[in-house]
C-alpha cells in the first residue's frame, strides 16, 4: 500500500469527523476549508498530494478560526495521525531500519 493510499484511508475518516463538527453552521469559512481538505484527501494519488494536504492542513492555525472543544479534539486526532504519516514520508527508504 502506498503512502497516499495509507494517508487517504487514515485521514479521510478523521477529516469527515472534523467536517461533521462544523455542520452546525457556526463557521461557514472553517467548514468550507475543511471540506476542501476532505475532497483533496479523497483524491490523493501520489506522495506529493499527501505533502500538499499536510501543508494546507498546517495553515488551519493561521486562518483565524475559533474552535469548540469538540472541534479541537477532532482536529487534534487528525493532526496526530498526520504527524505520524509525515514522519513515515520523511524516512529515507535507502537507510536501513
Domain count, the chain: 1
Domain that holds residue 81: 3-89
Q: Is 97 among the domain residues?
A: no
- Report d(CA 79, CA 70) in Å as an integer: 14
Per-residue pLDDT of the chain (97 residues; tens, 9 = 90+): 888 999 999 999 999 999 999 988 889 999 999 999 999 999 999 989 999 999 999 999 899 999 999 999 999 999 999 988 888 777 655 555 5
Question: Which grid coordinates belong to 18?
Answer: 472534523
Asked if residue 79 belongs to a domain, the reply is yes
Does 61 reside within a domain? yes
Global confidence as pTM: 0.86
| pLDDT at residue 78, as a whole number | 96
Does residue 95 form part of some domain?
no
Q: From CA 5, how far away is CA 7, in angstroms rounded?
A: 5
Amino acid at each position: 500500500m502506498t503512502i497516499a493510499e495509507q494517508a487517504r484511508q487514515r485521514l479521510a475518516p478523521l477529516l469527515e469527523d472534523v467536517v461533521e463538527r462544523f455542520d452546525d453552521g457556526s463557521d461557514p469559512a472553517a467548514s468550507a476549508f475543511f471540506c476542501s481538505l476532505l475532497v483533496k484527501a479523497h483524491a490523493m494519488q501520489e506522495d506529493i498530494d499527501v505533502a500538499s494536504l499536510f501543508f494546507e492542513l498546517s495553515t488551519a492555525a493561521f486562518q483565524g478560526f475559533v474552535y469548540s472543544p469538540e472541534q479541537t479534539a477532532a482536529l487534534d486526532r487528525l493532526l496526530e495521525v498526520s504527524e505520524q504519516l509525515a514522519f513515515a514520508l520523511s524516512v529515507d527508504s535507502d537507510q536501513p531500519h
